[in-house]
Amino acid sequence: MSLSFAIAPSHTLSQRFLEAMEQVQDKLLHLLASSPLLLLAILIVLAAVWLGGFISRRMRILTRISRSNPYMDGLLRNSVQVLIGLAGVLVALDLLNATSLVGAVLGSAGVVGLVLGFAFKDIAENYIAGVLLSLRQPFAPGDSVRIDSYEGKVIALNSRATYLMTAEGNHLQLPNSLVFKSVLLNFSRNPQRRFDFQIAVGNRASLHKAMDLGTATLAGIEGVLPQPAPAALILNLGNDGATLQFTGWIDQSRNDLSRTRSEAMRRLRRILWEAGIPAPEAVQRVVVVRNGSEQMPLPENGQARDTSVDRTLDAQLGRARALEDGDDLLETPSRPQLP
């Protein structure tokens, strides 16, 4: 069997080369002929971009939004500018009879967006959560909050994370997706807040008298509100005594919860001691006293302690907020003042 190879004549290759050169020449001539339209299309796109920026800066509704939510202001302005710019691109493509490219570009953009969505899922999730948190505003700068198992005062919220300062002065950064999905407890949203504590009294004491003394003592402490009034409850009874729970309310804009609670416990301990209502004895003991012996001195004095708002972290919060001011999504609202 013999194999034969057909060799193309040289004039055929040269003919194909000449045809390719003619096609290139035709495309160049077409490009030169359409250069005025191409220049006009570029000018339309540039004009659309400028017009989008001009309109986004002059829209009054966006100015009103920026006063209450600066993050949404920036997002809406960018959206308006992008939409007007895309409209200019579509007009330019239609002028060049290249509208068929729009479908191809949109298809490619969809595929690229899908790939990037999987690659940057966490970043996109935090960004969307930041938008939703900015709209809902569940907290404000300086609010004392508990998010999941984390507790502190709010510093700032940006498109990626929420920043807290713990009671120890540590800087805590939480992803917005975690903040949005977690149970959030805002201690500062309601200016009125209740505190409570427990005191054990012996079985020889009158529980009625101890409860009345306790509520009267709490009512006389600076910072404890008259309404809702202080209250007392019996939590449990035992062989050696009972456990009483006392509650009171404060205005957080004027007094600190921990300090007021501490002062209430200190003051009530002294009052019960003076009234002869001791704590229960955990063990049996025998006490021999002489008639007319002096009374045991009181372990507390009658001086009141400070119950004002704790401003320990205010300066540190201010410095931390100054660092995040350019990218902060929160505004400080005015807190209602109680009479």
- 115 shares its domain with 37: yes
Q: Decide if 251 contacts 218 (C-beta within 8 A).
A: no
Q: What is the pLDDT of residue 338?
A: 47
Last residue of a domain, one of 62, 94, 119: 119
Distance (Å, whole) CA 190 – CA 193: 7
Residues in the chain: 339
In a domain, 55, yes or no: yes
pLDDT tens digits, one per residue of 32-45: 666 777 788 788 88
- pTM beyond 0.85: the answer is no
Q: Decide if 93 contacts 101 (C-beta within 8 A).
A: yes
Question: Which residues share a beta bridge with 224?
Answer: 250
| H/E element, 145 | strand 144-147
Q: What is the layout of strands, in order, in the sheet containing 184-186?
A: 171-175, 161-165, 150-157, 144-147, 184-186
| CATH (domain of 239) | 3.30.70.100
Q: DSSP per residue over 46-57, as a string?
A: HHHHHHHHHHHH
- 110 shares its domain with 245: no
- 321 shares its domain with 176: yes
State the sign of the Cα–Cα–Cα–Cα dihedral 180, 182, 187, 191.
positive
Q: How does strand 161-165 pair with strand 150-157?
A: antiparallel
Distance (Å, whole) CA 165 – CA 174: 11
Contacts of 247 (CB under 8 A, 6+ apart): 194, 195, 196, 230, 231, 232, 233
- 225 shares its domain with 237: yes
Q: List phi, psi (to 5°) of 57.
A: -80, -20
Say how many CA atoms lie within 13 Å of 54 toward its Cβ: 6
In a domain, 15, yes or no: no
Q: How does strand 192-202 pair with strand 241-251?
A: antiparallel
Burial class (CB in 10 A: 0-12, 13-18, 19+), 134: buried
Q: What is the pLDDT of residue 164?
A: 93
| CATH (domain of 145) | 2.30.30.60
User: How does pLDDT run along the chain (339 residues), one tens digit per residue?
Assistant: 445 545 555 567 777 777 777 777 776 666 666 677 778 878 888 888 888 887 777 776 655 655 555 556 666 777 778 888 888 887 777 777 766 666 666 666 666 666 666 666 788 888 888 888 888 888 888 899 999 989 999 998 888 899 999 989 899 999 999 999 999 999 988 888 999 999 999 888 888 899 999 999 999 998 999 988 899 999 998 888 889 999 999 998 889 999 999 999 999 999 999 988 888 876 666 666 666 555 555 555 556 766 777 676 677 677 777 766 555 666 665 555 544
Torsional class of 147: left (φ above 0), alpha (ψ -120 to 50), beta (otherwise): beta
- 29 shares its domain with 59: yes
Domain count, the chain: 3
Q: Token match 């969809």: residue?
A: 110
Q: If you compute the radius of gyration of the chain from its CA atoms, what whole number of angstroms results?
A: 38
Q: What is the pLDDT of residue 206?
A: 85
Say how many CA atoms lie within 13 Å of 268 toward its Cβ: 32
Structure tokens at 162: 């929420």
* Domain extent at residue 176: 136-189+315-327
Q: DSSP per residue over 234-295, as a string?
A: EEEEETTEEEEEEEEEEETTTB-HHHHHHHHHHHHHHHHHHTT-PPPPSS-------TTPPP
In a domain, 129, yes or no: no
Tell me which residue of 143, 169, 147 sits closest to 156, measured CA to CA: 143
Q: What is the layout of strands, in order, in the sheet containing 231-238?
A: 192-202, 241-251, 231-238
| H/E element, 201 | strand 192-202
In a domain, 225, yes or no: yes
- 181 shares its domain with 197: no
CA of 224: how far to CAs of 31, 175, 197, in Å? 83, 37, 14
Last residue of a domain, one of 57, 84, 119: 119
Q: What is the pLDDT of residue 70?
A: 58
Q: What is the pLDDT of residue 163?
A: 93
Tell me which residue of 249, 246, 253 sits closest to 267, measured CA to CA: 246
Q: Token match 């929420």: residue?
A: 162
